[in-house]
């Protein structure tokens, strides 16, 4: 699956309207087959059924049949995990997604799809390009969400020259160097085209060290800025091994970029700039459309809250309020704060940055955001 396809699916799920029937969100790691997820799935289903009403239980079982039917039909050979979203009732819905990277075993029932794990996968793995170069050929791999979705070969034509007959050895060597120079430049032009077409933000070089060093020297500035790492193919016998190595390096790079976002958030908080932190402040900024980047720790696990189905206001309370404090409507439903933040961020076009580990972010409450603008009263407060 291409990254842009996942982004479309996430947007669809984030904007799916609530209905009378709930949505079953099911994530499974299928690397070990049924043995790896069946016990967790069955236990999760059993626990969820206990809290459902008779009417809701029928809709839940209808959605569950969709999930079981999809699993029974068989998965793609390279699939390591699946995410399935099903709803029964009068407005049925079902969306199954397969991935080449692992996801946790997790199942939930709620009014809207739970998409945090998809957003985390999108942010963690995203996409990058690998240029594999040897003396004879160049191979360009486009890796999306841990799987190769683009594979371009460019074979180098052999020099059919006879040293000592038509040309001297020195003449041959000069010509070979010129051909190599032209070959490298041609491959860089091809790489530039692929990067621009797919909007790849990260680049890996792999192959013969002599050839990769020539490519590195010839890379234009805008491609050199995207270079993450250089690997020797002698260490990897198969393409899958090479992709796995670059994937691990990419995840490390992504975590560095995540921590840089945390640093920017902390600076914004300390200087009263375009940043807020904490559950309540983040929810309010999301609802006002102020958020440029939502920064969320993977360990962030807030308490449940309540959302008004009429106006979207969220109350962070342990007890269910009788009515909405903003519009007085009584259509109040329980909501997972973490999922609601992600859903609103997707709806408002905010970028989402998930952070694997940051003590600084956890000290701020585990969540915060970089803002697009300040509220008018904030400007007044700064002037005062």
Task: For residue 141, give the CATH number of its domain.
Answer: 3.30.420.60
- Domain end point (choices 75, 98, 124): 124
What was the pLDDT predicted at 150? 86
What was the pLDDT predicted at 234? 62
- Where does the pLDDT of residue 159 fall: very low under 50, low under 70, confident under 90, or very high at 90 and above? very low
Q: Flag whether 339 is in a domain.
A: yes
- Where does the pLDDT of residue 161 fall: very low under 50, low under 70, confident under 90, or very high at 90 and above? very low
Widest CA span in the chain: 96
The pLDDT mean for the chain works out to 87
| Same domain as 77, residue 63 | yes
| The two structure tokens encoding residue 100 | 């080449």
| Same domain as 260, residue 215 | no
Name the domain count of the chain: 3
| Same domain as 135, residue 116 | no
CA separation for the pair 280, 282 (Å, rounded): 5
Query: What residue numbers bound the domain in which 294 lies?
Result: 254-384
CA separation for the pair 139, 133 (Å, rounded): 6
**140: pLDDT strictly greater than 80:** yes
Q: Flag whether 242 is in a domain.
A: no
CA separation for the pair 327, 330 (Å, rounded): 9
Q: Flag whether 330 is in a domain.
A: yes
**293: pLDDT strictly greater than 80:** yes
What was the pLDDT predicted at 158? 53
What was the pLDDT predicted at 326? 81
What was the pLDDT predicted at 174? 52
| Same domain as 268, residue 181 | no
Count Cβ atoms within 10 A of the Cβ of residue 99 and give its class: 0-12 exposed, 13-18 middle, 19 or more buried. Answer: buried
**Mean of pLDDT values over 54-67:** 94
- Domain end point (choices 107, 124, 141): 124
- Domain end point (choices 103, 124, 145): 124
**Mean of pLDDT values over 48-69:** 93
Q: Which strands make up the sheet holding 305-308, listed edge to edge?
A: 314-315, 305-308, 332-335
Question: CA torsion 125→129→130→134, rounded to 10°?
Answer: 170
- Give the pLDDT confidence of 324-363 residue by residue, as tens digits: 888 888 878 778 999 999 999 999 999 999 999 999 999 9
| Same domain as 119, residue 13 | yes
What was the pLDDT predicted at 333? 78
Neighbours of 290 (CB within 10 A): 21
CA separation for the pair 46, 69 (Å, rounded): 18
Q: Flag whether 98 is in a domain.
A: yes
- Where does the pLDDT of residue 283 fall: very low under 50, low under 70, confident under 90, or very high at 90 and above? very high
Q: Flag whether 248 is in a domain.
A: no
**227: pLDDT strictly greater than 90:** yes
Are 258 and 356 within 8 A, CB to CB? Answer: yes
**Mean of pLDDT values over 307-317:** 78
Q: Flag whether 244 is in a domain.
A: no
């Amino acid at each position: 699956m291409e990254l842009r396809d996942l982004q479309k699916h996430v947007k669809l799920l984030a904007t799916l309207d609530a209905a009378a029937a709930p949505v079953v969100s099911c994530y499974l790691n299928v690397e070990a087959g049924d043995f790896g997820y069946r016990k967790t799935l069955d236990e999760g289903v059993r626990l969820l059924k206990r809290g459902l009403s008779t009417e809701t239980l029928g809709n839940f079982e209808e959605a569950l049949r969709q999930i079981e039917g999809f699993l029974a039909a068989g998965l793609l050979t390279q699939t390591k995990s699946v995410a399935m979203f099903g709803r029964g009732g009068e407005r049925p819905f079902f969306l199954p997604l397969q991935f080449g990277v692992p996801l946790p075993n997790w199942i939930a029932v709620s009014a809207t799809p739970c998409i945090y794990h998809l957003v985390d996968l999108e942010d963690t793995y995203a996409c990058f390009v690998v240029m594999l170069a040897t003396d004879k050929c160049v191979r360009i791999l486009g890796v999306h969400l841990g799987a190769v979705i683009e594979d371009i070969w460019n074979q180098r034509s052999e020099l059919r020259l006879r040293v000592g007959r038509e040309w001297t050895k020195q003449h041959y060597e000069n010509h070979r160097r010129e051909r190599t120079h032209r070959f490298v430049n041609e491959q860089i032009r091809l790489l530039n085209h692929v990067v621009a077409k797919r909007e790849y933000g990260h680049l890996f070089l792999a192959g013969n060290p002599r050839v990769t060093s020539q490519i590195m020297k010839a890379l234009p500035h805008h491609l050199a800025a995207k270079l993450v790492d250089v690997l020797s193919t002698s260490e990897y016998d198969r393409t899958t091994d090479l992709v796995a190595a670059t994937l691990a390096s990419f995840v490390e790079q992504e975590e560095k970029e995540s921590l840089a976002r945390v640093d920017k958030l902390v600076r914004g908080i300390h200087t009263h700039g375009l940043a807020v932190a904490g559950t309540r402040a983040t929810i309010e900024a999301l609802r006002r459309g102020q958020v440029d980047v939502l920064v969320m720790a993977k360990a962030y696990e807030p308490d449940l809250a309540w959302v008004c189905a009429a106006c979207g206001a969220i109350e962070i309370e342990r007890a269910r309020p009788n009515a909405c404090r903003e519009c007085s409507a009584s259509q109040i439903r329980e909501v997972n704060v973490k999922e609601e933040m992600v859903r609103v961020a997707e709806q408002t076009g905010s970028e989402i940055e998930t952070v694997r580990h940051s003590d600084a972010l956890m000290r701020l409450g585990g969540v915060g955001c970089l803002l697009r603008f300040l509220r008018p009263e904030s400007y007044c407060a700064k002037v005062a």
